[in-house]
Chains A and B, each alone.
Chain A
Amino acid sequence: MNPASTILIAFPKGRLGDELVPKLAGTPLALDAAALNSRVLRIPTATPGVAALLLKGVDLPRYVAAGVASLGIVGSDTLDELDMDLLELADLGFGACRLSLCALAGVTLDGLRAKPHLRLATKFPKATEAWLTREGLTAELVPLSSSAELAPLLGLADAIVDLVQTGGTLQAHGLVETLVLGRSSARLVAARGAYLSEPGRIRPLAEALISALRRE
Chain B
Amino acid sequence: MPVHTPHFPDLLFDSAARLRRWEAALMGLLATHGYRELHPSLVLRKAVPTGALRFFDGDDLVALRWDFTVALAGLLARGFAEPPDRVAYAGAVFRRPVQPWEAVERFEVGCERIQPEGEPSGEADVELARLLMAIPGILGLKSAILHLGNAALVRRPLEAEGLSPERAEAVVAALSRRAPHRVAQAMAGHPAAARMEAHAEALLSELDGPRTLDALGASPYADLLHLEREHMDRALQALLPILPPNLELRVDLADVAGLDFYTGPTLRLWAPGAQQELAAGGRYDHLFPGLGRPWQAAGFCVRLSRLLDLAETRPDLFEQPS
Contacts and interface: CB of A to CB of B under 8 A. Distances in A.
B125 interface: no
A64 B274 CA distance: 13
Contact of A194 (B98, B207, B250, B275): B275
A90 B181 contact: yes
A197 B99 CA distance: 19
B273 A197 contact: yes
A2 B314 CA distance: 8
Interface in B218-266: 250, 252
Contact of B99 (A65, A87, A194, A198): A65
A65 B147 CA distance: 20
A89 B1 CA distance: 22
Interface in A39-81: 65-67
A91 B174 CA distance: 12
Given A88-B177, A197-B145, A67 B272 contact: no
Nearest to B313: A3
A216 interface: no
A90 B174 CA distance: 11
B273 A86 contact: no
B101 A66 contact: yes
A82 interface: yes
A88 B270 contact: no
A86 B177 contact: yes
A199 B274 contact: no
Interface residues of B, number: 27
A196 B98 contact: no
Given A82-B1, A83-B1, A85-B99, A197 B272 contact: yes
A4 interface: yes
B182 A88 contact: yes
Nearest to A203: B207
Contact of A199 (B207, B273, B276): B207
Contacts of A193: 270, 273-277
A67 B179 contact: no
Nearest to B1: A83
B271 interface: yes
Interface in B130-181: 145, 147, 177-179, 181
B316 interface: yes
B178 A87 contact: yes
Contacts of A31: none
A99 interface: no
A89 to B, nearest CB: 6
Nearest to A197: B270
Contact of A67 (B1, B181, B252, B275): B275
A197 B316 CA distance: 15
B181 A196 contact: no
Interface string B75-105: 0000000000000000000000011010000
B272 A87 contact: no
Interface of A: 2-4, 65-67, 82-91, 187, 190-199, 203
12 contacts: A4-B314, A66-B275, A82-B1, A89-B179, A91-B179, A191-B275, A192-B276, A193-B270, A193-B276, A195-B178, A196-B252, A199-B250
Given A86-B177, A88-B178, 4 more contacts: A3-B314, A88-B182, A90-B181, A197-B275
